Amino acid sequence: MTTTGTAPETRSFEADVARLLHMMVHSVYSDKDVFLRELISNAADACEKLRYELLSDPALAGEDGQPRITLTLDPDARQLILEDNGIGMSEIELAEALGTIARSGTRAFMERVAAAQEGEGAQLIGQFGVGFYSAFMVADRVDVYSRRAGADTAAHWASDGLGSYTIQRVDPAQAPARGTRIVLHLKEDAASYTEAFTTQRIVTAQSGHVPVPIFLKEKPDAEEKQIADGAALWTRPKSDITAEEYTDFYRSTAGQFDEPALTLHYRAEGLHEYSVLAFLPSMPPFDLFDPDRAGRMKLYVRRVFITDEAQILPRYLRFVRGLVDSNDLPLNVSREMIQESPVLAAIQKGVANRILAELDKLAEKDADAYRAFWQNFGAVLKEGLYEDFSRRETLLGLARFKSTVSGEDWRSLKDYVGAVKDNQTAIYYATGSDLDRLASSPQLEGFRARGTEVLLLTDQVDSFWVTAGADYQGKPFKSVTQGLADLSLIPLADGETAPAQASAEVDGFITYVKGVLGEEVSDVRASERLTESAVCLVAPDNAMDRQLEKMLAGAGRLDHAAKPVLEINPRHELIARLGALAEDSGLREDAARLLLDEARIADGELPADPRAFSARLARMIGGAIQ
């Protein structure tokens, strides 16, 4: 049994921690109360981790019974002391947890601060919740005494937040019998946190619904009183719970600090029994586009927190926060085994279906709220269109789009299909990264002339799902840059005139261009789709959409790109005049090559050979001036 400690050892913080601490120590963030929420949430997490370990090792409980968090105020010493009897930390864990930045949220915070304008950084503290280190907004020294459950040694971590900390092994009597005690030596201007009224108010408002009871002692030797009951909010009847209670719970458990846009609380009965409390954030979570695309729904079994890595929801619903509490999963099963459980599979299916059904309802009843939801999360939801074929129909119904007729608003596919023109057999779309450029691309001209709507798709994921073979109400999706759009079958809109047949001269010119360009393109042909522009590029029939091809090439995932087709507008005045040029005119070859470069530029590409392009252009302009 170790009763003696070791001498304190001074260590430097990891560079990022030092930067973060500097921010905390000098923070001008006005709502400093958030530090309490952070420390209490850590204490509650520690209690939940212990509950879980107790399942397989009941001896860890020792003498100390029910999980609890205790706050002790010491106005005379200007201290606030937080103690939990959770899992605790060993000496090594202490240095790891409180000397480095492990959590991705804090990292994301630092990146955002670095990118933010002067003065804006402070505001971000509340939005991200920067964890343990936020204690240094209110304290100029922090002592942490901790003892890992089941260990007979204890450790002491201390820092003034100025670049280094000390760590040492101490007499276990200095630490809690199990868990962690954090002593905040409050700054002068933070003395109010030793007032019982103030602290109680903050704790009940911010953390009143953490699933561990919280006690308060007004003085070190005072009686303690319970200020939060630790009852699991989700087990209470819905009708008893106020909107504020839901919001507080959401904020204190979901790592989100906005108002939930939608709260879903229900109990599934029947073959499997479980409770669901789920929230739709109104602000995108910081990790929405992290490469691992992990969801954060928590899994409880009969109120014991098991894991937040069960991936209860499909990845395209990863923005949903909240929890599922199952009545029928076995408690003594390992996290790994849970993944294999048919009960979990049934829960996964049920919860995802319910959430999509709620979204559908929201779209019906509250168009504004749904629009805001789509703005935030539409790009994520669309991942489901190629990842979850079983729900594709539902997801297509939920999807909203910009189109050539949408203006500021969004269109649904139902809207689209309701407005198709005679003989229109496909849903047309164009993909690109910039909405305005897309809207003015030459490929759309023929569609406009026929009053045919084209979806304008600007999210990265769009290029993937449109090519995954989806159709909606029997209509396939078809790119306007792909092959010959069977446009001529669709009648022209009023006031548009049918294109005149190309003259023999123009046909001759097109054949000539094809000869000149040779291997650079896969074909040169007269265009049905152009009405205003002279030329455009499209993909050969049955080839990959050009936008997707460019994306894959950009990501180095394409070894062979199809050569595009150059389409020439035979009705365009320029083309007619080029057709009329004498066959031996020196202009013809320059013109043929410039037309291809013009089409490339309209597609957002560079001319293949910029120097040759400039020389040709100079010759052309020179010729025009003479």
Residues near Mg ion (CB under 5 A): 42, 131
* Single-letter amino acid code for the residue at 50: L
What's 329's DSSP letter?
Answer: S
| Least distance to ligand ADP, CB of residue 105, Å | 6
Quick one: 103 or 112, whose CB is closer to ligand ADP? 103
Q: Is 87 in the site for ligand ADP (CB under 6 A)?
A: yes
**83 close to 42: Cβ distance less than 8 angstroms:** no
Q: Is 256 in the site for ligand ADP (CB under 6 A)?
A: no
| Least distance to Mg ion, CB of residue 41, Å | 5
463 binds, among Mg ion, ligand ADP, none (CB under 5 to 8 A by kind): none
527 binds, among ligand ADP, Mg ion, none (CB under 5 to 8 A by kind): none
Quick one: 90 or 327, whose CB is closer to ligand ADP? 90
Tokens 């308060």 belong to which residue?
A: 216
Q: How far apart are CA 549 and CA 463, in angstroms?
A: 9
**428 close to 485: Cβ distance less than 8 angstroms:** yes
87 binds, among Mg ion, ligand ADP, none (CB under 5 to 8 A by kind): ligand ADP
Which stretch in 35-43, 358-366, 448-456, 465-473 sits in contact with ligand ADP by CB under 6 A?
35-43
Map the footprint of ligand ADP across residues 176-235, applying CB under 6 A. 180
3-class secondary structure, 180: strand
Map the footprint of ligand ADP across residues 91-120, applying CB under 6 A. 97-98, 103, 105
Beta carbons within 10 angstroms of residue 30's beta carbon: 10
What's 326's DSSP letter?
Answer: E
Instruction: Say which residues have a Cβ less than 8 Å from residue 515's Cβ, sequence separation at least 6.
Output: none
**398 close to 363: Cβ distance less than 8 angstroms:** yes
Nearest alpha carbon to residue 297 among 289, 341, 266, 306: 306
**455 close to 416: Cβ distance less than 8 angstroms:** yes
Quick one: 213 or 499, whose CB is closer to ligand ADP? 213
| Least distance to Mg ion, CB of residue 226, Å | 23
Nearest alpha carbon to residue 2 among 158, 151, 143, 167: 151
CA distances for 340 relative to 54, 103, 149, 516, 518, angstroms: 22, 27, 29, 62, 58
The binding track of 510-549 with respect to ligand ADP, each residue x by CB under 6 A or -, is ----------------------------------------
Quick one: 96 or 486, whose CB is closer to Mg ion? 96
Map the footprint of ligand ADP across residues 125-184, applying CB under 6 A. 131-132, 180
Alpha-carbon torsion angle 168, 154, 18, 20, nearest 10: -160
**43 close to 176: Cβ distance less than 8 angstroms:** no
Quick one: 148 or 382, whose CB is closer to ligand ADP? 148
User: Binders of ligand ADP: how many residues, by CB under 6 A?
Assistant: 15
362 binds, among Mg ion, ligand ADP, none (CB under 5 to 8 A by kind): none
**562 close to 521: Cβ distance less than 8 angstroms:** no
Q: Is 43 in the site for ligand ADP (CB under 6 A)?
A: yes
| Least distance to ligand ADP, CB of residue 329, Å | 25
3-class secondary structure, 266: strand
3-class secondary structure, 321: strand
- Given 20, 89, 186, 466, the residue binding ligand ADP (CB under 6 A): 89
Q: Which pair of structure tokens corresponds to residue 411?
A: 């269109």
Quick one: 141 or 421, whose CB is closer to ligand ADP? 141
Nearest alpha carbon to residue 198 among 275, 280, 258, 138: 138
Cα within 13 Å of Cα(214), Cβ side:
28
Nearest alpha carbon to residue 547 among 625, 437, 470, 472: 437
Which stretch in 85-93, 567-575, 582-590, 599-607 sits in contact with ligand ADP by CB under 6 A?
85-93
Q: Which pair of structure tokens corresponds to residue 106?
A: 């804090």
Region for residue 214 given its phi and psi (left: phi exceeds 0; alpha: psi -120 to 50; beta: otherwise): beta
Q: Which pair of structure tokens corresponds to residue 357?
A: 């059904």
CA distances for 219 relative to 222, 302, 390, angstroms: 5, 36, 60
Quick one: 182 or 506, whose CB is closer to Mg ion? 182
Nearest alpha carbon to residue 69 among 274, 218, 213, 280: 213
Cα within 13 Å of Cα(354), Cβ side:
22
Query: How many residues are present in the chain?
Result: 626
Q: How far apart are CA 446 and CA 440, in angstroms?
A: 12
| Least distance to ligand ADP, CB of residue 218, Å | 22
| Least distance to ligand ADP, CB of residue 151, Å | 13
Quick one: 41 or 441, whose CB is closer to ligand ADP? 41
Instruction: Say which residues have a Cβ less than 8 Å from residue 121's Cβ, sequence separation at least 6.
Output: 23, 112, 113
Q: Is 42 in the site for ligand ADP (CB under 6 A)?
A: yes
| Least distance to ligand ADP, CB of residue 324, Å | 21
Quick one: 121 or 131, whose CB is closer to ligand ADP? 131
Quick one: 97 or 372, whose CB is closer to ligand ADP? 97
Which stretch in 81-89, 314-322, 464-472, 543-551 sits in contact with ligand ADP by CB under 6 A?
81-89
Quick one: 131 or 446, whose CB is closer to Mg ion? 131
| Least distance to ligand ADP, CB of residue 332, Å | 23
Which stretch in 42-50, 279-287, 415-423, 610-618 sits in contact with ligand ADP by CB under 6 A?
42-50
- Given 35, 73, 86, 444, the residue binding ligand ADP (CB under 6 A): 86
Tokens 């703005």 belong to which residue?
A: 375
Quick one: 96 or 486, whose CB is closer to ligand ADP? 96
Q: Is 254 in the site for ligand ADP (CB under 6 A)?
A: no
Quick one: 86 or 213, whose CB is closer to ligand ADP? 86
| Least distance to Mg ion, CB of residue 46, Å | 10
Q: Spell out where 49-171 has E strands.
A: 69-74, 79-84, 139-147, 154-159, 164-170
180 binds, among Mg ion, ligand ADP, none (CB under 5 to 8 A by kind): ligand ADP
Q: Residue of minimal CB distance from ligand ADP?
A: 131
Q: How far apart are CA 529 and CA 522, in angstroms?
A: 18
Quick one: 89 or 338, whose CB is closer to ligand ADP? 89
Map the footprint of ligand ADP across residues 486-505, applying CB under 6 A. none
Map the footprint of ligand ADP across residues 45-74, applying CB under 6 A. 46
* Single-letter amino acid code for the residue at 381: L
| Least distance to Mg ion, CB of residue 131, Å | 4
- Given 24, 36, 38, 400, the residue binding ligand ADP (CB under 6 A): 38
| Least distance to ligand ADP, CB of residue 53, Å | 12
Positions touching ligand ADP (CB under 6 A) are: 38, 42-43, 46, 84, 86-87, 89, 97-98, 103, 105, 131-132, 180
